[in-house]
Structure 1
Amino acid sequence: MNTLLWVLVGVLVYSLVAKALQIRGYLPDAIRLQGPIATIHTRRGRALLTRLARPKRFWRAYSNVGVGVALVIMAGMFVLLLFQALTILQNPPAPSAVNQPQNFLVVPGVNDFLPLAVAPEILFGLLIGLVVHEGGHGLLCRVENIDIESMGVVFLAFIPIGAFVEPDEESQSDANRGARTRMFAAGVTNNFVLTAVAFALLFGPVIGAVGVAPGVAVDGAYPGSPAATAGVDHGDRITAVAGTEVTSEGDLDDALLAAENRTVAVEIDGERTIRVERSLTVVGSVGSNPANLTVEDDPIRVQAVNGTAVHTRGEFRDAVADSTFARIETTAGERTIPVGAYVTRVAQDGPLANASAPTNASLIITSIGGERVTSSTDLARVLDGYDPGDRVPVRTYQDGAFETYTVTLGENPRDGNGFIGVDIFPGTSGLLITDFGVSTYPAGTYLELLGGSDGTDGGAFSGLVDSPFALVYVALVLPLASVVLGIPNFPGFTPAVTNFYVVEGPLAPLGDGVYIIANTLFWAAWVNLQLGLFNCIPGYPLDGGRILRTCTEAVVSRLPVTDSARIVRTITTSIGLTMLASLILMIFGPQLL
Structure 2
Amino acid sequence: MPTRRRVQDEEAKQGRVEFSFPLLIVRIKTFTRVYDRLGAFGASRPVSWAAIIGMPILASFGLYFIFSSLLTLLTTPAAREIGRELGPQAYVLLPGINPYLPILYGWLAIIAAIMVHEGAHGVIARSLGFRVKSSGLLFFLVIPVGAFVDVDEEQMAKAKPKNSVRVLAAGPGANIAVAIVCLLGVLIITSGLTPVVDGLYVFDVMEGMPAQDAGLQLKDVIISVDELPITNFDDFKAILDDKNPNDTIQITVARGEKWNDQFSTTAKLTEHNGSAYLGVSVGELLTEQRLRTYQKLATETLYLHFMPPTLASGLVPFSEALKDFYTHTLGENWHILANIFFWLWFVNVNVAIFNALPIYPLDGGRAFKSVLKSVLGRRAGGRIASRLTTVVAVILLSAIVMTIVLPFIM
TM bucket, shorter chain: 0.7 to 0.9
CA deviation digits over 1:440-491, x for unaligned, max 9? 345435533553xxxxxxxxxx4x4455xx2x43222253765xxxx73648
The structure 2 residue matched to 1:444, chosen from 276, 285, 288, is: 288
Question: Does the alignment pair 1:310 with 2:275?
Answer: yes
8 Å Cα contact 1:73/1:533 also seen in 2: yes
Question: Does the alignment pair 1:216 with 2:199?
Answer: yes
- Secondary structure (helix, strand or coil) at the match of 2:154 reads helix
Identify the structure with bigger relative contact order (alpha carbons < 8 Å, sequence gap 6+).
2
- Secondary structure (helix, strand or coil) at the match of 1:165 reads strand
Looking at structure 1, the residues matched to 118 and 141 of structure 2 have their Cα atoms a distance apart, in angstroms, of 21
> Which residue number corresponds to residue 586 of structure 1?
403
The structure 1 residue matched to 2:28, chosen from 42, 47, 69, is: 42
Instruction: Report matched runs for 1:208-247 at 5 Å.
Output: 208-216=191-199, 218=201, 220-221=203-204, 232-233=217-218, 236-247=220-231
Looking at structure 2, the residues matched to 491 and 98 of structure 1 have their Cα atoms a distance apart, in angstroms, of 24
Q: Pick closer, same or farther for the CA change 1:550–1:258 going to 2, 3 Å.
A: farther
Looking at structure 2, the residues matched to 228 and 159 of structure 1 have their Cα atoms a distance apart, in angstroms, of 51
Question: Does the alignment pair 1:488 with 2:305?
Answer: no
8 Å Cα contact 1:125/1:527 also seen in 2: yes
Q: Pick closer, same or farther for the CA change 1:497–1:95 going to 2, 3 Å.
A: closer
Looking at structure 1, the residues matched to 163 and 298 of structure 2 have their Cα atoms a distance apart, in angstroms, of 39
Instruction: Report matched runs for 1:318-467 at 5 Å.
Output: 436-451=280-295, 462=296, 464-467=297-300
- Secondary structure (helix, strand or coil) at the match of 1:162 reads strand
Looking at structure 1, the residues matched to 226 and 46 of structure 2 have their Cα atoms a distance apart, in angstroms, of 66
TM-score of the aligned structures, taking structure 2 as reference length: 0.80
The structure 2 residue matched to 1:565, chosen from 382, 389, 395, is: 382
**Mean alpha-carbon deviation: is it higher for 94-103 or for 526-535?**
94-103
> Which residue number corresponds to residue 514 of structure 1?
334
Looking at structure 2, the residues matched to 103 and 568 of structure 1 have their Cα atoms a distance apart, in angstroms, of 34
Q: Pick closer, same or farther for the CA change 1:35–1:257 going to 2, 3 Å.
A: farther
Question: Does the alignment pair 1:113 with 2:100?
Answer: yes
For residue 564 of structure 1, report the CA deviation from its aligned partner.
1.1
> Which residue number corresponds to residue 538 of structure 1?
358
Question: Does the alignment pair 1:126 with 2:117?
Answer: no
* % identical aligned pairs: 22
Flag the structure with larger Rg. Answer: 1
8 Å Cα contact 1:140/1:183 also seen in 2: yes
Q: Pick closer, same or farther for the CA change 1:223–1:259 going to 2, 3 Å.
A: closer
> Which residue number corresponds to residue 341 of structure 1?
none
Q: Pick closer, same or farther for the CA change 1:170–1:446 going to 2, 3 Å.
A: farther
What is the alpha-carbon root mean square deviation over aligned residues?
3.5
Looking at structure 2, the residues matched to 247 and 447 of structure 1 have their Cα atoms a distance apart, in angstroms, of 14
Looking at structure 2, the residues matched to 151 and 275 of structure 1 have their Cα atoms a distance apart, in angstroms, of 69
For residue 566 of structure 1, report the CA deviation from its aligned partner.
1.2
Greater strand percent: which structure? Answer: 1
For structure 2, the residue ranges without an aligned partner over 5 or more in a row are 1-13
Looking at structure 2, the residues matched to 511 and 141 of structure 1 have their Cα atoms a distance apart, in angstroms, of 42
8 Å Cα contact 1:191/1:532 also seen in 2: yes
Q: Pick closer, same or farther for the CA change 1:84–1:164 going to 2, 3 Å.
A: same
- Secondary structure (helix, strand or coil) at the match of 2:48 reads helix
Q: Pick closer, same or farther for the CA change 1:498–1:89 going to 2, 3 Å.
A: closer
Count, aligned residues: 386
- Secondary structure (helix, strand or coil) at the match of 1:44 reads helix
Q: Which letter maps to 1:69?
A: G
Q: Pick closer, same or farther for the CA change 1:85–1:247 going to 2, 3 Å.
A: closer
Question: Does the alignment pair 1:477 with 2:294?
Answer: no
- Secondary structure (helix, strand or coil) at the match of 1:534 reads helix
Q: Pick closer, same or farther for the CA change 1:109–1:262 going to 2, 3 Å.
A: farther
For residue 589 of structure 1, report the CA deviation from its aligned partner.
2.8
> Which residue number corresponds to residue 138 of structure 1?
122
CA deviation digits over 1:538-561, x for unaligned, max 9? 212222212211222222229xxx
Q: Which letter maps to 2:174?
A: N
For residue 567 of structure 1, report the CA deviation from its aligned partner.
0.6
For structure 1, the residue ranges without an aligned partner over 5 or more in a row are 1-27, 281-302, 313-433, 452-461
Q: Pick closer, same or farther for the CA change 1:438–1:90 going to 2, 3 Å.
A: closer
> Which residue number corresponds to residue 423 of structure 1?
none
Question: Does the alignment pair 1:168 with 2:152?
Answer: yes
Q: Pick closer, same or farther for the CA change 1:83–1:493 going to 2, 3 Å.
A: closer
Looking at structure 2, the residues matched to 228 and 151 of structure 1 have their Cα atoms a distance apart, in angstroms, of 65
8 Å Cα contact 1:125/1:524 also seen in 2: yes
Q: Which letter maps to 1:439?
A: G
Q: Which letter maps to 2:164?
A: R
> Which residue number corresponds to residue 298 of structure 1?
none
For residue 515 of structure 1, report the CA deviation from its aligned partner.
2.4
Q: Pick closer, same or farther for the CA change 1:311–1:68 going to 2, 3 Å.
A: same
